[in-house]
Amino acid sequence: MKVTGDVYALDATKGNYAYLILSEEIILVDTGRPGQGKAILNELKSMNIKPEDIKHILITHHDIDHIGNLALLEEETGASIWASKEDIPYIYGEKNREGIKRFLSFIFRIKKPGKINPFPEDHKIGDISVIPTPGHTPGHVCLVYKDVLFAGDLVRTSKGQIEPMQSFINWDTDLSLESIKKVGYLPFKWICPAHGGPVKRNGEWNINM
Ligand SMILES: [Zn+2]
How close is the Cα of 44 to the center of ligand 1, in Å?
22
CB atoms within 10 A of CB 129: 15
Distance 85 CA to ligand 1 centre (A): 19
How far is ligand 1, taken at its centre, from the CA of residue 64, in Å?
A: 7
d(CA 11, CA 190): 18
Higher pLDDT, 202 or 57: 57
Distance 63 CA to ligand 1 centre (A): 6
Ligand 1 center to 89 CA (angstroms): 18
3-state secondary structure of 21: strand
Cα atoms found within 13 Å of the Cα of residue 35, Cβ hemisphere only: 4
CA of 87 to the centre of ligand 1 (A): 14
Q: What's the average model confidence in pLDDT over 63-89? A: 96
- 102: pLDDT confidence band, cut at 50, 70 and 90? low
Q: Taking a C-beta distance cutoff of 8 angstroms, is the pair 91, 82 a contact? A: no
pLDDT at 110: 81
Beta bridge partners of 156: 163
Examine the pLDDT at 109 and tell me if it is beyond 90: no
Quote the radius of gyration of the chain (alpha carbons, Å).
Answer: 16
The most confident of the ranges 6-10, 110-114, 201-205 is 6-10
Residue 136 C-alpha to ligand 1 middle, in angstroms?
A: 9
Instruction: State the distance from the centre of ligand 1 to the C-alpha of 193, rounded, in angstroms.
Output: 9
Cα(182) to centroid(ligand 1), Å: 20
Q: Separation of 15 CA from ligand 1 center, angstroms?
A: 9
CATH class of 2-200: alpha beta
Residue 40 φ then ψ, to 5°: -65, -45
Strand, coil or helix: 125: strand
Domain ranges of the chain: 2-200
User: Which of left, alpha, beta for 5 (phi over 0: left; psi -120 to 50: alpha)?
Assistant: left
Average pLDDT, the chain: 93
Whole-number Å distance between alpha carbons of 81 and 114: 9
What pLDDT is recorded for position 204? Answer: 76
Confidence of residue 78 (pLDDT cuts 50, 70, 90): very high
91 alpha carbon to ligand 1 midpoint, in Å?
14
Average pLDDT over residues 69-80: 97
Cβ contact 101:93 at 8 Å: no
Question: Do the Cβ atoms of 21 and 6 come closer than 8 Å?
Answer: yes
* pLDDT tens track for 136-181: 999 999 999 999 999 999 999 998 889 999 988 999 999 999 999 9
pTM summary value: 0.94
Output the CA 60–ligand 1 centroid distance in Å: 9
Q: Which residues surround ligand 1, an ion (CB under 5 A)?
A: 63, 65, 153, 194
* Percent with pLDDT over 70 in the chain: 93
